[in-house]
Chains A and B, each alone.
Chain A
Amino acid sequence: MKSTAVEASNYSDTKGKKAQKPKSLWGHAWTQLSRDKVAMLSLTIFALYTLVAFLSVTGLIASDWKNEVGLSYGVPSRDHWFGLDIFGRSVFAKTIKGTEVAMSVGFVVATISACIGIIFGSFAGFYGGKIDELIVWFYTVVSSVPNIMLVMAIALISGKGIHSVYLALGLTTWVNLCRLIRAEVIRHKDREYVQAAAAIGGGDFRKLFKHVLPNVFHIVIINFTLTFQIAIKSEVILSYLGLGVQGRPSWGVMINDAKLELARGYWWQLAAATFAMFFVLLALNILGDALRDSLDPKLKGK
């Protein structure tokens, strides 16, 4: 009787240990995130948009957007859900092509800006001294020119088209991340675990990239969702100013076209682009907030 009780308690002990297997920050964040139904829905929407963009890039869907499929400005109907544009092209196909542009702009811009931000921010924070002063001066300079002026200048001189959109937005959106990473690296670089890494002979690169950066990487992820939104919104404005994508549909081009259509009662192109943009931005917004709550320990419980 006694032995079984001991056994039972042993058993429950090991079981308890199994359940308490220490979770990493990421595991913990994922558990918390997956409990949040709205955040999971947002993640699904974002994944769907990415899938649509991917299918559109590979030409599996909407590759026939150029084809005339009906009368000029055909109203939304069963065959053409979002109606037709001035040349009788399907607005639905154009919206999908626009999704491709928006998502690629979002991904490329957020990636460029994350790379620059991580490199500058971590070097400034880690090495300090002259390097730090130089980088701080540099980002102060970049952030002193109002963003819209800088974006337009870069887009203007690098020629028109999607590549100049990537470049203009990628080169101007990194300052915020750089600042955050720098501050966080400064907080981390003298902690015990970094000293321990130094004690076993880890060099600067090892300390920085293997030990410090994984601990500040959550900032990069949160910032990624933010830069993604800024990029999508800015692409629309650049397209309006004639500095954006050329010769292919994008949400910005569609909204711009609507300028002349609205007064004549052709609302569907504006509505399609606006709603397409609305859902992905909303999803990114909610996702960003949920990620912040689950990844940033300082904000826990707020």
Chain B
Amino acid sequence: MNIYTYILRRLLYIFPVIIGVSFLIFILFNVVCPDPTLIMLGKHATPEQMAMLRTELGLDRPLWVQYFDILKSAFTFDFGRSWNTKQEIFQMIKNGAIPSLTFTVPGFIFSTITSLSIAVVVAFYRGKFLDKFFVVICVSMMSISSLAYILFFQWFFAYKLGMFEISGYEDGFPYFIPYVILPIIIWIILSLGYDLRFYRTVMLDEIYQDYVRTARAKGLSERVILFKHVLKNAMIPVITYVVIQIPYLILGALLIENFFGIPGLGSLVVDAINSNDFGVLKAMSILTSLAFIFFNLLSDVLYTMVDPRVRLK
């Protein structure tokens, strides 16, 4: 298949997926869900009050109109107003994005660099003590609840040792730094186990390929093989893995933000859950799905461009 035909086909496929995603969100929030007005107004609501709220939220319109509203919002980003605070949802999301990104992006960059460098070292010493040691560390780190990490780190480093701010946030460039350092560290700790394990597998997958044996037979040193050949080829799955994770940076880290009082998108979602704000939840689901679809597309296209074998399939 021609590369351009492939990319075009892949590009067009996002439309049925967007239609499906908005339909899924519609089914969950507008069809399956028990009457949201009952939840919002409580047990003692009169039928008139409920009817009024339903009209206000647009829930009395025919279902297909409600569905098209959701589908339309995936393209126009007009999500209406929050059910709880009555603010413009898009504005709320815009305000929340920056605080989320201030700690997820540095955390993501540091954790990727750290785990990738350890993975190279571990691949060099594969099967030896250092390799086994790191495998044990990875598996152990993955077996601890993320909630326990956050709780312990916040208590130990911020409360007990007083090294960082316990919680809070300030806008503006230099001011937010003291508030995000500990969240960044926790983000790194949380992703290190998963990342390192993935990168190690990728490196080892490459190391057992035939071209590595050829390179070794040629008499190249293990270091040249590792950095010049293996790392270069391993970059393909690494880049895919990195790109796929970007949407999660936008979503922020629900728990970390909640614990540290960072007013980001994660906090937005947690607040929406606590106040049954379906408007915000729908908007966040659509936006994060769109981000996921986009970055998935990007990683597929990148993959096709660097690896011609994919196209033949």
Contacts and interface: CB of A to CB of B under 8 A. Distances in A.
Given A146-B289, A281-B143, A140 B20 contact: yes
Contacts of B274: 242
B308 to A, nearest CB: 21
Given A141-B24, A145-B25, A148-B254, A256 B273 contact: no
Contact of A153 (B20, B28, B155, B255): B28
Most buried by B among A149, A150, A154, A243: A149
A274 B145 contact: yes
Contacts of A256: 147
A255 B204 CA distance: 37
Given A137-B17, A144-B21, A263-B159, A156 B273 contact: yes
A146 B204 contact: no
Interface string A132-149: 000001101110111011
B148 A270 contact: yes
A302 B204 contact: yes
A258 interface: yes
A231 interface: no
B147 to A, nearest CB: 5
Contacts of B254: 148, 237, 241
Contact of A142 (B24, B145, B273): B24
A192 to B, nearest CB: 23
A142 B204 CA distance: 31
Contacts of B140: 278, 282
Contacts of B204: 302
Interface in A242-300: 242-243, 251-252, 255-256, 258-259, 262-263, 270, 273-274, 277-279, 281-282, 285-286, 289
B148 to A, nearest CB: 4
B289 A263 contact: no
A244 to B, nearest CB: 12
A259 B151 contact: yes
Interface string B13-31: 0001100110111001100
A144 B139 contact: no
Contacts, number: 122
Given A237-B147, A255-B148, A146 B20 contact: no
A146 B148 CA distance: 23
A144 B22 CA distance: 11
B145 A233 contact: yes
Contacts of B28: 153-154, 157
Contact of B147 (A144, A153, A158, A255): A255
Interface residues of B, number: 45
A144 B151 contact: no
B66 to A, nearest CB: 15
Given A270-B151, A282-B143, A285-B139, A149 B21 contact: no
Contact of B142 (A144, A150, A274, A285): A285
B285 interface: yes
A158 B25 CA distance: 14
Nearest to A241: B273
B20 A137 contact: yes
Nearest to A281: B143
Nearest to B36: A157
B230 interface: no
Contacts of B273: 152, 156, 241-243
A54 interface: no
Contacts of A251: 145
Main secondary structure of the interface of A (DSSP, over half): helix
Given A149-B284, A157-B29, A255 B292 contact: no
Given A237-B147, A262-B151, A270-B152, A141 B20 contact: yes
A107 interface: no
Contact of A144 (B148, B248, B293): B293
A240 interface: yes
A144 B143 contact: no
B16 A137 contact: yes
Nearest to A149: B285
Nearest to B19: A141
Contact of B289 (A144, A152, A274): A144
Interface string A180-211: 00000000000000000000000000000000
B21 A277 contact: no
B208 A144 contact: no
Nearest to A236: B145
Contacts of A140: 17, 20
Interface string B112-146: 00000000000000000000000000011011111
A-B interface, 8 closest residue pairs, ranked by CB to CB distance from nearest: A141-B20, A281-B143, A157-B33, A282-B143, A274-B148, A262-B155, A145-B289, A149-B285
Interface of A: 137-138, 140-142, 144-146, 148-150, 152-154, 156-159, 233, 236-237, 240-243, 251-252, 255-256, 258-259, 262-263, 270, 273-274, 277-279, 281-282, 285-286, 289, 302
Interface of B: 16-17, 20-21, 23-25, 28-29, 32-34, 139-140, 142-148, 151-152, 155, 159, 204, 208, 247-248, 251, 254-255, 269-270, 273-274, 276, 281, 284-285, 288-289, 292-293, 296
22 contacts: A137-B20, A142-B24, A144-B17, A144-B289, A145-B21, A145-B285, A145-B292, A146-B247, A149-B284, A153-B28, A156-B281, A157-B28, A157-B29, A237-B147, A237-B254, A255-B148, A255-B151, A263-B155, A273-B145, A277-B148, A278-B144, A289-B139
